[in-house]
Structures are given as C-alpha cells and as structure tokens.
Amino acid sequence: MGTRVLFQIFGNEVSLFLGIILLYLLVTSIYREREFLADKKTSALMKDSTHLVSGLTSLEKMIPRGLHIEILSCHPSLQKRIDALKRKRAFSTILFFLGYVVVQLPREEKNSAIFLLLRLLLHT
C-alpha cells in the first residue's frame, strides 16, 4: 500500500529513487543532530551551563528561557559543530523540496532536472 502511494506521488522509478535518497539525507541529518547532543563533551558543556543557570536561582524568573543555549553557543568549537549541523539539515531539506518540484515537471524536462539534481548530490 505504501509503495503504491509513493508511485502515485512520484510517478516513475527514477523519481521514486531520487525522492527516497533525499528523504534519507533529511533523516540522517536529524540523526546526526541527535548524536551530537549525546556526545560526552557536548553533554558535559551542557551540564556546566545548566549548573550555571540553576546557580542563579534567586534571579531565575528574570533569566530568559534560552539562556543555556546562548552560553553553549559561546564556546567556539561547539558553535562550529552547531553551524555544521544546521547547514547539513538545511541542505537536505532544500534537496528534498527540489526533488518534489522536479517530480511536478513535464516528462521532457524531468530527466534533465533529475540529472542536474544527481550531479548536485554527488558534488557535495
């Protein structure tokens, strides 16, 4: 049943294959982010920042909710990793929507657009 719906959405095997690849990229970027949050160094830095915020209990109501995120992002190596994750997720999302747009093209233009998307995928 699920395959039939996918074929109705994507039309042919090449488009279906491309859609599955783009969906895979999106899912792997989400898992990469989860791995990042589970990393020991990251969790240690998060723990330190949480203690820093909770140490200010008398001022807790005046502290903005996202303060520990700002403290985390001040660390240069951590900021690099956060930026890399955001780039990868944005790239995967853009590719997924580009794949959806390509599927909507007429048959004559679809093959050349798929070829260009595959070149873009292989280039990165």
Q: What is the mean pLDDT of residues 98-117?
A: 72
Q: How much is the pTM?
A: 0.31
pLDDT at site 5 = 67
Give dist(CA 73, CA 42) in Å, integer: 11
According to DSSP, residue 60 is labeled: G
12-46, pLDDT tens digit by residue? Answer: 666 667 777 777 777 777 777 766 666 666 666 65
Q: What are phi and psi of 63, to 5 degrees?
A: -80, 130
For residue 108, pLDDT beyond 50: yes
pLDDT at site 52 = 47
Query: Which H or E run includes 51?
Result: helix 40-54
pLDDT at site 110 = 72
40-92, pLDDT tens digit by residue? Answer: 666 666 555 544 444 545 444 454 555 455 455 555 666 677 677 667 666 76
Of 61 and 98, which is predicted with more confidence? 98
Per domain, the residue ranges of the chain are 2-123
Q: Which residue type, as a one-letter code, is found at position 37? A: L
